[in-house]
Each structure stands twice: as C-alpha cells, then as structure tokens.
Amino acid sequence: MFFVETLESEGLGNRSYLAGGPDAAVVVDPPRDIDRIIAAAARRGVRIAYVAETHVHNDYVTGGLELARVTGARYLVPAGADVSFARTPVSDGATVTVDEGLTLRAIATPGHTPHHTSYALTEDGRGVAAFTGGSLLIGTVGRPDLVEPRLTEQLARAQHASAHRLAAELDDEVPVLPTHGFGSFCSSAQAEGDATTIGKERETNDALTLDVDRFVARTLAGLDDVPAYYAHMGPANAAGPAPVDLTPPERADAEEIASRLAAGEWVVDLRSRTAFAGGHVAGSFNFEGEGKLATYLAWLIPWGKPVTLLADTPEQIAAAQRELARVGIDRPAAAATGDPAAWVREGERLASFPRARFTDLADVRRRGDTVVVLDVRRDSERAGGFIEGSVHIPIHQLHGRMSEVPDGVVWVHCAGGMRAAIAASLLDATGRDVVAVDDGFDAAADAGLSLTSG
C-alpha cells in the first residue's frame, strides 16, 4: 500500500509531500527545514529515495538540495530549470520507481514557470496522486507573472493548456496535491477548500471551464501584489541554498536591544498585538508570531537588515526562526524573552498605544473629532469598498511612504487587525499618535461608517 503524508507550511500557505510505499519514498517540494521531513520518514520507517521539485520556487527557499545530500536521494529537477548545482534533470514523460509497484511520472505543465513539471504517482498502473506544484491548484492555478512581465500572458495561456493536459491524462478520482494555494501569494486567486480531485477541478476550475481567452483575461485581471522578497527566492534556489542553521540566537539584554535600535536595525516583537499595544520597546515593530510572520516581515524589511526577535518564550523564538529561515532570513542577530519590562534600560519605560473597534471610530467621527483614517489593505481589497475619507497606503508600502500620512491621530485598519497592528507599530516607532483598529472590516458598515468604492 502507498501513502501520502502532507507537511504544512501554514505561514507561507504551502504544502510539501512525503509519498511512498513500505520501504522507500519521494519528497515533493520540500521546505528549507528538512528535519521535519526526515523525522516523518523515520516515523514511517522509509528511506527517502527521491527528492522532486516541481519548479524553481519564487516564494520560499527550498530544502531539496540539502535533503538530497543528507539522505543520498536522487534530486529530480525539471530539465528546463537553469540551476547551478548537480541534479537529475527530469524531462516530460520520465519515470522513476519509488518502491515496488509505485511509479512517479513527470508531466510537463508550463505556466507558473516555463519549466514547471507536475508528477503523477501510480500504484500498479493506477493513478493515485498528482503533485501539481504551482500548476493546477484548488479552484485556481499558480500565478503566471512571477518570472518575467513580458512572458505573463504567454504563461497564462500555458497554464490553461497544462490544466487541460492534466485533466485529459488523469482519471477523475485522482487527488490533486498542489504546493501552493493555501494562502500563498503564488496562487493567482485564493483557493477554497482543503482537498480536491481531477474530477472536482474539471467542474469548478476556471482553467477547465473557461475558454483560453476568457481564462487569460480573468487571470490577469485578478493578479495581486507580489511580495518584495520573492525577488530573492528564485536566485537563491537556482544557486543552491546553504544548509539552514536553527541553533538558538544569542541572548540580547536591554542595552543591546537599545544599541541595535540606535544602529537602525529591526527589533521585532512576536507577541500578540494586544500585548504589544499594551507595552513594548519604543521603536520595535510588531509582527505576530501566530500570523503570517514570514510573508509580511520578509516583504517589509530591507533585505539583509539584521533582525532581533522578542517574544514571551524561547519556543516562540524557535518557531519564528524556523519560519523566517524558509524565506532566507537565516540568523536572527539576537533574541530576548520573558518580561518586556526587562527589555528596556533602567529609567526607561515601555511605549504603548490604544486599540479600538470600528464602533469607536464611528463614535469619534460622530463627535466631529478630526482624525486620520489609514487603510493598509491591498488595492484589490480596497476596490471592494472603503471608508469614506480614508487614506490608502498598502501595508507593504507604508515604511517608505510615512511622509504621506497626514498630520493628526492616525486610526489604522486592515481587513482583520493583524496588518493594522504592524502598521500601527511602524507609525508608533516614528513618534506618531496611533490607534490600532482591531476589528473585521465587515463591522465598519454595521458601525455606521460611510463606505464608498471607486
């Protein structure tokens, strides 16, 4: 009997897979922290015989090269991928035997990248899984605009053709197991649901229900912002990533934290937005460890800037360090845990700012108080409606556009509160008076705030 085990990288919205039989297995699109995969294989008592990449990834640093080195597995990489390390190049139709009766077949599925390759797993000739990477996702496809702007439309058309090829070659009951689509910005639209099959996608996926011209037009119209750190992921993966170092960072005391802030380095507080608002080191930024830490910190931080992490516990530091390593932020400069009062020097006090709901903002406006309402959602979100009179600066642009925020008390909001907390911390660090709206945007209209669009 075959097995497929899913390994989630929830913060990045990606999945990796360990699949095999009684004795041997293949790993598809592994994350940087390969110890999780090695542990999963050990629990099942299987040898990792192959490591397969569907493409050179743009949204995370792969652990494939190191996993293959450590385990002695053959490293399968699409033949068209331009990489700088030794690997087993895989062309369309190539097959490998993973275990007795268990075969992996490469299917060229260009679109997300020109060289993208999916893999069909068969047991005794029967299709049992399709590892589709950034090709066919749950209800959508991988975005085609991450390689080269001039290729975007061409790759979108290729996505349509690739989806049809998968649907034509695989039976309806074959599970579709994509790498992207669970919150990843590599998805051309946000997928719904947690599992799917070729048959379900045949009925619901735009790539399989629309003609190519309508599909391309809809796909290109729906493309969202690209996280800035993506520019660094492809080159890192093509060059061959170095092994990851997850040993604990050096401990920082209050003096070192102050020194690093004075040097212009980033000090990142991983605690909840509630805790941060109630008391934090002045000048530090709040990226919740339980939120999309890697996505938003890597998106906003100047690349290569040293980062010091603050958290309640060492376990939270370790989890954040693992998450950040997946996007190439390899070694925190230092870290501190415990009581935030110990993070500031003697005689200094923690900073704070208020939190509020949309009902509070409505009350303030009804009283006639003049406040700045700052919307930090993405363009695509704002297009669906926004608070009348609000200023719009997407969160990933705010650090470089602080001068555009009008004078006055700034009430900052997003769609749910997490990004508003990040933005509030950025503003607070510059000395602005800020109120973080910790509320779902749906509550804005219910609170009586006037919404508009256009």
Structure confidence by residue, pLDDT tens digits, 118-144: 999 999 999 999 999 999 999 999 999
Closest CA to 269 of 356, 261, 409: 261
- In this prediction the pTM is 0.93
The answer, yes or no, to whether residue 191 has pLDDT greater than 80, is no
Closest CA to 328 of 60, 84, 57: 60
Q: At what angle do helices 293-300 and 314-325 cross, to 10 degrees?
A: 70
Q: What pLDDT score was predicted for residue 235?
A: 96
What value does the mean pLDDT take over residues 323-352? 97
Beta strands in 79-161 (DSSP E): 88-90, 95-99, 102-108, 117-123, 126-133
Q: What's the rounded Cα separation, in Å, for the pair 52 and 121?
A: 12
pLDDT of 85: 97
Backbone angles phi, psi at 305, to 5 degrees: -70, 130
Indicate the pLDDT class of residue 80, thresholds 50, 70 and 90.
very high
Q: What is the pLDDT of residues 389-431, one digit of tens each?
A: 999 999 999 999 999 999 999 999 999 999 999 999 999 999 9
When pLDDT is averaged across residues 222-249 and rounded to a whole number, the result is 94
Q: Where are the beta strands (DSSP E) in 353-409?
A: 355-356, 372-375, 386-387, 391-392
For the segment 254-283, the average pLDDT, to the nearest whole number, is 98
Q: Evaluate if residue 265 carries a pLDDT over 80.
A: yes
Q: Would you say how long the chain is, in residues?
A: 454
Across residues 261-273, what is the average pLDDT?
98
Q: How confident is the model at residue 183 (pLDDT cuts 50, 70, 90)?
A: confident
Using one digit for the tens of pLDDT, what is the confidence trace for 26-55? 999 999 999 999 999 999 999 999 999 999
Task: Note the pLDDT tens digit of each residue in 281-312.
Answer: 999 999 999 888 999 999 999 999 999 999 99
φ, ψ of residue 312 in degrees (nearest 5): -70, -40
- Strands 355-356 and 3-9 come out as unpaired
Does position 147 have pLDDT exceeding 80, yes or no?
A: yes
In this prediction, residues 204-212 reach a mean pLDDT of: 97
Max CA distance (Å), the chain: 75
> Which residues lie below 8 Å from residue 339, measured CB to CB, with a gap of 6+?
none
Q: Quick one: pLDDT band at residue 146, thresholds 50, 70, 90?
A: very high
CA–CA separation, 258 and 343 (whole Å): 9
pLDDT at 192 over 70: no
**Residue range 92-106: average pLDDT?**
98
> For a pLDDT cut of 70, what percent of the chain falls above it?
99
What's the CA gap between 321 and 289, in Å, rounded?
10
pLDDT, tens digit, 9 for 90 and up, residues 374-390 = 999 999 999 999 999 99
In three-state secondary structure terms, 349 is coil
pLDDT of residue 181: 85
Per-residue CA distances from 2 to 72, 122, 123, 192 (Å) = 22, 9, 7, 27
d(CA 228, CA 400): 13
In single-letter form, the type of residue at position 129 comes to A
What is the C-alpha to C-alpha distance for residues 189 and 205, in angstroms, rounded to an integer? 11
Q: Would you say residue 190 has pLDDT above 70? A: no
143, 179 contact by CB (below 8 A): no
Order of strands across the sheet that contains 434-437: 355-356, 434-437, 410-413, 372-375, 391-392
Cα–Cα dist 53/30, whole Å: 8
